[in-house]
Amino acid sequence: MIEDAYSPRDLEQKWYARWLESDVFNRKISPDQPPHTIVIPPPNVTGILHMGHILNNTIQDVLIRRARQKNRSAFWVPGTDHAGISLQIKVEKELAEKGKTRQGVGRETFLELAKNWREKHGNIILEQLKKLGISCDWSALKYTLDPDYSRSVLAAFVKLYQRGYIYRGLRLVNWCPASMTALSDEEVIMREQHAILYSIKYEIVEKPGEFLIVATTRPETVMGDVAIAVHPEDERYRDLVGLHCWRPIVRESIPIIADEAVLKDFGTGALKVTPAHDAVDFAIGQRHGLPIISVIAKDGKLNDLTGPFAGMDRFEARRKVAEYFFKNGLLAKEEPYLNRVGYSERAGVSIEPMLSEQWFLRYPCVEEAKLAVREGFVCFWPKRWEKTYMHWLDNIADWCISRQLWWGHRIPVWYRKEGDRRDPRNWHVSIGGPKDPENWDQDEDVLDTWFSSAIWPLAVLGWPDEKAMETMGFDYFYPTEDLVTGPDIIFFWVARMIMLGINLLGDGEKVPSPKEIQRHIPFRNVYFTGIIRDNLGRKMSKSLGNSPDPLDLLDKYGVDGVRVGLLSMAPNGQDILFSEERVSQGKKLCTKLWNSFRFRQKNATEGDRTSLAAIVERIDENVLEADDWAILGKLLAAMEEFEGAMKAYEFNRAIQILYTFFWSYYCDWYIEVSKARRNATVFAVHDLVLRQLLLLFHPFIPFVTEELWHDHGYGTRFLAEERLETTEQLRGYLSGIGLENMQSLIGEVELIRELVMAVRALKAQFGLSSRRDVKFYFKTDPAARAIVNRHYHNVKYLLLTQFFSETEAALPFPACAVTLGSIYMDTADSLDVAAQERRLQIEIEELSRLIAINEKKLHNEHFLSRAPNGVIQGARDLLTENIAKKRELEAALLKLLTVRQT
RNA sequence: GGGCGGGUAGCUCAGUUGGUUAGAGCGGCUGGUUUACACCCAGUAGGUCGCAGGUUCGAGUCCUGUCUCGCCCACCA
């Protein structure tokens, strides 16, 4: 027997421990089953659990549990990410508190500290994830800095280098002066900010006393100016092109040139060209063969080429240089200006475009990656993200993959000592390094963390080590089935995994065929979750303090409640407005399920429940009544709809379907009506419905379903080992006991429901307590009478009345009309005739309106000739029904008026 | 500047390829401790589906325009 009260916490601890002990989530390579693999998006080791993790991992858990139910060999690979910059910043902060720097302690000690940090804090997030009840194969846990994973990363680098996709070059990169490293374009976020647009006067060399005015937001870079550019078709400056200007401060003559990149209508139409510190300027400089003068150092301070400003921070220098121009009469104008500036998201400072030697990846298999999605080898859910993906791939630029950090995978390149590092002949690229290490220096830099993430689906399955691949079942489990992630990392992660998967698994020589692409893609489906927002629509973040602590929520509502509540508010790929109310509803659902079993168990509990067949065996088809068939029919319909929703990854709809079936039809109707018929067959029907409900709900609410399953004797195996019967299989079982005859019986139940609800409403409308026993009279034709008779006990029970009898004529009582006929309520004493008259008038008017609509339709030639038969018949039926109801109400009204007159 | 998404009941959202009278939960109000459940039951009010056109027998659904909110991308210094 189950406990009276549902207390989630006990169940959670008990079952998760048992599941893990039994290895029920561990992968099994079984060739007779199709595989279903999911790789977790590795959370940061520096992270703590937030609502996004709960959503994301619950969805994965639902998918993987469903896969098991459908007889797939499921494998969910967990793991974590080393979080390069983010962890390095944390360790540096700890050092700073002790007055130390990473350079001070040296690389080796620093890495030791980082490792310790990770060991201390890195598993917190995993322990938190486990609380969610997620069914990963923990024996396959991977970490991006594990030795074998690291070898995979280096192998990928070497392979891509050998295939000509990786090169080293001097390029303008996004430099973060705070963390002192280059960043990829994707790591730079544009922010609007209030700046000042300065108009600076440059004296023309050939025309002393005449000035060219240039607008800039960055006066501190003038010392790096190498030209002034104007648009070739700009009439104002045509005569000046070819002449020169005096560069102020570090005085030098620089040319005035013409370039199409200059916008005529911005500022004065003249641009100062600083190739070392601006992307547009760099391009102009390249086109015109201009020199490159860097004036800002890696720490964001002005270097010694800046004369009096050397050593000054870039922002201070900006003000000071502007001041200098003002004092020297070179500042023509100064105006407030709103512009966009790139920021390093992690470090929170504005990035500096800077010329620097870095390693780059020219993306391989860009076209193939597009084809994979276009052809549906990889499906995006929702589909619209394909556009974002395609657009990025269409405008793709090489990826700066080197980082000037220590925490990460050190670049597997060695340079010959004393050799020129820019000359590839002095390079050695391999996983293990050169045989004579004493003659070489390894590159100091590490790889972008996203580079290691880009091979996640390959590396967790052992690639490229053949033995490891065999152990992990690479050939069996790859490609993976579902990837669940946020659309914000389409570029960072999803697209890169697709490109690298296709390239690295291919031979790298000939163009891969569509078949090969299909085999080499890392996943078949990508489900993009929404972003969780608070009830004001703001992104949930620690700094805003608007995010509930997920652990508190789990505590308060139980894991199952949070899971199902959160998914029920997650519309397909739309952002999610978080509501604690919905989470609470999730818990209520679990409680209700619990209580429905209590009802079942308060009655006789005997009977074999160990299989669907055994339960069906207990059903005596001669005892079955309309209500039984109706609930079984609803179950079939709900299952069918549920399957459709799940196939489309519409989890909120799927939950809604189960919820409505369970709550409205099963609990509110079937349990109630079956209370009058407590026989073995009815309890077998309960057992059947409850069993299927547990299976259907299990992926969403694994703990409470597991508990109830075992408690009610459905089996001794874990639900993770049970298969879910398909709708067709269930239909098969029910056909065996006469399913085919049930349609008309289900229709009867609907008619009785209509009647019961109408009469309840009638009672409420007259302010009668729902407990009050009232006499009802029922007026109808013989056929309907027979139906009512068959459900007589239910009608009386549900209306809480002892008296429900026939009448041949209209009565002077409050009345309502339903499809089966009209009902009069004997209020005996206190009848407000005027109120009843008003009510009837309103209802008659409403019916008249509906009748008019349908009559108009049915008199329309075009409607009759063009609408499908079903629709026309529907309109006819409705018309007939409404006319009948109206007639009944008119009779009731007439009777009422007659009584009033006498 | 380009792209994407949303605008349906007080709130959060459903609404399949156009087809019966636009739904659910929450909240509001009314009545109820009927031996599974007050984390419950019964009932009820509340909507010109952002706006304007168009296509159609029929539009929340399709087309055009428009307003508005949000997100992403883009080298106006």
3-state class (DSSP) for residue A15: helix
A654, A646 Cβ separation under 8 angstroms: yes
Strands A252-258 and A244-247: antiparallel
Q: Rounded CA gap, A662 and A670, in Å? A: 10
| Strand B–CB A141 distance below 7 A | no
A570 to A43, A56, A481, A530, A746: CA distances (angstroms): 21, 11, 21, 7, 33
In whole angstroms, B72 C1' to A185 CA is: 14
Beta carbons within 10 angstroms of residue A131's beta carbon? 18
Q: State yes or no: pLDDT of A479 exceeds 80.
A: yes
Q: Which of residues 482-521 of A touch strand B (CB under 7 A)?
A: 488, 491
pLDDT band at A783; cut points 50, 70, 90? confident
- Give residue A32's pLDDT: 92
C-beta separation of A237 from A202 below 8 A: no
Cα end-to-end span (Å), chain A: 63
Lookup result for tokens 């390079």:
A427
**pLDDT score, position A125:** 87
Which nucleotide's C1' atom has the smallest distance to the CA of A670?
B36
Percent of chain A with pLDDT over 70: 97
Cβ atoms within 10 Å of A639's Cβ, excluding its own: 23
DSSP A889: H
Place of tokens 């005085």: A251
Paired sense of beta strands A35-39 and A73-77, if any: parallel
Strand B–CB A396 distance below 7 A: no
Nucleotide nearest to A771 (CA to C1'): B32
- Categorize the per-residue pLDDT at A536 as very low, low, confident or very high, splitting at 50, 70 and 90: low
Report pLDDT for A227: 92
Name the residue with higher pLDDT: A510 or A4.
Answer: A510
Q: Is the CB of A370 under 7 A from strand B?
A: no
Q: What is the pLDDT of residues A36-83, one digit of tens each?
A: 999 999 988 877 788 888 989 999 999 999 999 999 999 999 999 998
A864 CB neighbours strand B below 7 A: no
Q: Which nucleotide is nearest to A581 (CA to C1')?
A: B26
Of all nucleotides, the one whose C1′ comes closest to residue A797's CA is B34
Q: Examine the predicted complex and report whether its ipTM is higher than 0.85.
A: yes
Structure confidence at residue A545 (pLDDT): 64
Minimum mean pLDDT among A361-370, A516-525, A793-802: which range? A793-802
According to the model, what pLDDT value does residue A445 have?
95
* pLDDT of the residue at A542: 59
Q: Over 90: is that where the pLDDT of A748 sits?
A: no
Kindly report the pTM of this predicted structure: 0.92
Average confidence (pLDDT) over A167-192 = 90
Q: Token pair of A66, please?
A: 């469903």
| A301-336 pLDDT, tens digit each | 998 888 888 889 999 999 999 999 999 888 888 888
Q: Are strands A142-143 and A181-183 parallel, antiparallel or unpaired?
A: unpaired
Phi-psi region of A25 (alpha: psi -120 to 50; beta: other; left: phi over 0): alpha
Average pLDDT over residues A799-809: 80
Cβ neighbours, 10 Å, residue A538: 12
H or E element at residue A335: strand A331-344
pLDDT above 80 for A834: no
User: In the predicted model, what is the mean pLDDT of residues A790-807?
Assistant: 81
Report H helices in A24-106.
51-69, 84-97, 102-105
Nucleotides of B under 7 A from a protein CB: 3-6, 11-16, 19-21, 24-26, 30-37, 39-44, 56-58, 69-70, 72-77
d(CA A632, CA A625): 11
Residues 296-355 of A with CB under 7 A from strand B: 339-340
pLDDT at A830 over 60: no
Tell the residue number behind the tokens 């169940």, with chain if given: A11
Question: What pLDDT band is residue A829 in, cutting at 50, 70 and 90?
Answer: low
Cis link prior to A382 (omega < 30° from 0)?
Answer: yes
CA A852 / C1′ B60 distance in Å: 23
The answer to whether some atom of strand B lies closer than 7 Å to the beta carbon of A599 is: yes
Which DSSP string corresponds to A654-722? Answer: HHHHHHHIIIIIIIIIIIHHHTT---HHHHHHHHHHHHHHHHHHTTTSHHHHHHHHHHTTS-SS-GGGP
For residue A770, pLDDT over 70 is answered with no
> CB A505: neighbour CB atoms within 10 A?
21
Residue A707: CB less than 7 A from any atom in strand B:
no
Q: How far is CA A685 from CA A313, A532, A627, A753, in A?
A: 78, 40, 10, 20
CA distance A117 to A82: 11
pLDDT tens column, A394-410: 989 999 999 999 999 99
Please, are residues A75 and A35 in contact by the beta-carbon 8 Å criterion? yes
From the list A94, A96, A98, the residue with the least C-alpha distance to A117 is: A94
Question: How many Å from the CA of A183 to C1' of B4?
Answer: 27
Q: Looking at residue A45, what is its pLDDT?
A: 80
A686 has a pLDDT exceeding 80: yes
- Residues 232-251 on chain A lying near strand B, CB distance under 7 A: none
Instruction: For residue A492, give the amino acid letter.
Output: F
Which segment of A413-417, A457-461, A623-627 scores lowest on mean pLDDT? Answer: A623-627
- Given a contact cutoff of 8 angstroms between Cβ atoms, the answer to whether A532 and A578 are in contact is yes
Q: Is 80 exceeded by the pLDDT of residue A533?
A: no
Q: Show the tokens assigned to A883.
A: 């006319």
Rounded percentage of chain A residues whose pLDDT exceeds 90: 48
Q: Which of residues 38-67 of A touch strand B (CB under 7 A)?
A: none
Place of tokens 């992968």: A27
- Name the closest residue (CA) to the C1' of nucleotide B26: A581
* pLDDT band for position A861 (cuts 50, 70, 90): confident
A2 touches strand B (CB under 7 A): no
Q: Burial level of A189, CB count in 10 A (0-12/13-18/19+)?
A: exposed
Residue A675 CA and nucleotide B37 C1' are separated, in Å, by 15
Kindly list the distances between the CA atom of residue A18 and the CA atoms of A15, A131, A232, A297, A835, in Å, as whole numbers in the listed order. 5, 14, 76, 58, 64
